[in-house]
Amino acid sequence: MSPSFCSARFSVALFLVISAVPIAYLIFLERAAPSTYVFSYHSSGFFRECAKWDDVGRRFLVSFMDGGGIGEVVPRDGNSDVLQEVTVVRDIDLAGNASLGIAIDRDRNRLLVAVADLLGNRYSALAAYELSTWRRVFLAELSGHSTDKSLADDVAVDAHGNAYVTDAKGSKIWKVDVNGSLVSTIESPLFTPPGWYNNLVALNGIVYHPDGFLIVIHTFSGFLYKIDLTADVDAGSNKVSVIEVTGGTLRFGDGLELLSPTKIVVAGSPSAKLVESSDGWRTATVTGWFSSGMVHRLVSSATVKEGRVYLNHIVGFGSKKRHILVEAVF
């Protein structure tokens, strides 16, 4: 037997041994069921970026990271069987782009969807759909003809129907009015912390606070920002401030969910965190942690169903692409 043949056999054997380790670990993680309640559903795709509970429609709405679109998952009372995702939006003219963060605008019966060219970062938009008919109300193109890379990542809506979309590549926030017109861009030097590695994924999860400001997470640095929408646009740094967070890091935070005027959930891996403030979000404290144990599935967003927080996991597994929404108890 030639030395080259022996070497080849050894290389193949070594590859099989090495690859078997993560496969075995994934199988172990999949079999370790979370200790809290789980909604499971079969899907048409492997990647689901965001899930929000539609209380009026009695359904979860989920965004398709792979190929774009929106699906609904309807729970069945008293039935713990695996649910089925049904596609409700699939726009041909947006094919190839990802549907990322979503927000329900209940007052106007709309779903707002951040749309982006996930790999090339050459297209960003905000789409709005009627929740009852799924008719597209508007499509606001955000990246325009700029050669700068952008990534529309998440969206929040204020009391007047204005939408705020985070740019995870360009470190800015687009403001789109209720009619779908791009009216302004919020930028600040604070959105770009020192170190190139801190800006690989920049502004991400965003929520609107009823007192008239935004709370935004910067993923790779973990910075949490307060953006005062009532301040004069020309007031410079007075409009944007960094919330002083104690009790733990928010690095790798992704989606945000406002639980009350004083509490938010920061979804992320390896754990989601409960953050509280008693001074109008000038400062805040990490007061709780939760991990589903499904770190390989990657937590990306949080939503509230009947007072309980559920975490969306991006990655589905198996031939039927089973996804999970796990209750978080802090």
Q: Who's near 66: CB < 8 A, 6+ residues apart? A: 45, 46, 47, 98
pLDDT tens string, the chain, 330 residues long: the values are 544 444 444 454 444 344 454 666 667 667 777 889 999 999 999 999 999 999 999 999 999 999 999 999 999 877 778 999 999 999 999 999 999 999 999 999 999 999 999 999 999 999 999 999 999 999 999 997 678 999 999 999 999 999 999 999 999 999 999 999 999 999 999 999 999 999 999 999 999 999 999 999 999 999 999 999 987 554 444 599 999 999 999 999 999 999 999 999 999 988 999 999 999 999 999 999 999 888 889 999 999 999 999 999 999 999 999 999 999 999
Query: How far apart are the C-alpha atoms of 306 and 221, rounded to whole Å?
Result: 32
Q: Who's near 161: CB < 8 A, 6+ residues apart? A: 105, 107, 108, 177, 178
For residue range 261-270, what is the model confidence (pLDDT) as tens digits?
A: 999 999 998 8
CB count in 10 Å sphere of residue 64: 26
The residue type found at 220 is F
Q: What is the pLDDT of residue 215?
A: 98
Kind of pairing between the strands at 283-290 and 244-246: parallel
Question: What is the DSSP annotation of 165-176?
Answer: EEETTTTEEEEE
The residue type found at 123 is Y
Q: What is the pLDDT of residue 19?
A: 46
> Which among 112, 105, 100 is positioned nearest to 139, based on CA atoms?
112
User: Order of strands, edge to edge, in the sheet holding 152-157?
Assistant: 152-157, 163-167, 172-176, 182-186
Beta-bridge mates of residue 129: 111, 136
Q: What is the pLDDT of residue 9?
A: 46
DSSP, collapsed to helix, strand or coil, labels residue 276 as: strand
Q: What is the pLDDT of residue 294?
A: 87
Which tokens hold the place of 128? Answer: 């709005």
- Read off the pTM: 0.90
Query: How far apart are the C-alpha atoms of 169 and 16, rounded to whole Å?
Result: 37
Query: How far apart are the C-alpha atoms of 146 and 141, rounded to whole Å?
Result: 11
For 187-249, where are the E strands, in sequence order? Answer: 203-209, 213-218, 224-228, 240-242, 244-246
The residue type found at 297 is R
For residue range 200-240, what is the model confidence (pLDDT) as tens digits?
A: 999 999 999 999 999 999 999 999 999 999 875 544 445 99
